[in-house]
Amino acid sequence: MRLIGKTFQKLKNHRDGTLVAYVTGGDPAPKYTPIIAQALIEGGADILEIGIPFSDPIADGPTIQAASVRALRAGTTPRKVLEIVREIKNQHNIPVGILTYYNPIFRMKLDRFFSLAYKCGVDGVIVPDLPIEEADEYRRVAESFGIDTIFLAAPSTSKERLRRIVECTTGFLYLVSHFGVTGEREKVEEETIQMIKRVIPFTTGRIPLAVGFGISKPDHARVVVENGAEGVIVGSAFVNIISENQGKMSKMLDEIKESARRIKEATIQNLGIHSKI
């Protein structure tokens, strides 16, 4: 079992949910991402997800789209993001995944990308626009470097395709909580709860289940974990804090740390017991 899987298993043994915290690499500039990562870790993030900024992020809403623009304007490249991961991994023993669209990988070539990712300590890769039907070579190369390939399932995913996705994914299954793009939501919809319950029979005993897209508040995290998911993926909430506090680094870091702490605390599965993170 690799580091991502071990992290989910360790937390599950303690009846804790897993907080996967996303930020766009290089937002607002590459030098700040390791500092932001440290604030997330201090707040309670169990796994980090660092996005490679891309000019056409079709799965992302306005918040993360704007973060990609800021990062690209600051000169962030895929190689710089991988070097940021190296810096984070040199300081913290925490799983770090990369979220990227397939174009940057295609341009760099699979072997070169995964070789550099391995050298920089990347534990897993998420590619929202790569369907499993076209991912055989991608999975083979990633496996040769011991890097998890984390696939996504959506509300529209059929039972047959869900079974295939579960067979292909390693690390965890990324469950998209609703139709549409990333972004904060007011509440967890009933359809999300029903979707979690529909997917659990496919993942139980096979792969951890983490829910993302729209998970931005402690109440969201609590509902998702109480209904059977082993983790939550939170991105836009943290990216919004970065956006609103550009030029106010101390305030930004304090707010990120506090937001992560509150969301992480909500994933504790021992109901009625409040653990201080």
- The closest alpha carbon to 172, from 40, 15, 16, 19, belongs to 19
Q: Would residue 60 show up in a list of annotated catalytic residues for this protein?
A: yes
Q: Would residue 49 show up in a list of annotated catalytic residues for this protein?
A: yes
Q: Which of 16, 46, 60, 230 is catalytic?
A: 60
- Judged by phi (left if over 0) then psi (alpha if -120 to 50, else beta), residue 272 lies in left
Residues 232 and 208 sit within 8 Å (Cβ to Cβ) = no
Is residue 178 classed as helix, strand or coil in its secondary structure?
coil
Q: Which of 16, 46, 49, 123 is catalytic?
A: 49
18 forms beta bridges with: 231
- The closest alpha carbon to 113, from 62, 160, 149, 89, belongs to 149
What gap in Å lies between CA 230 and CA 21, rounded to an integer?
14
Active site residues: 49, 60
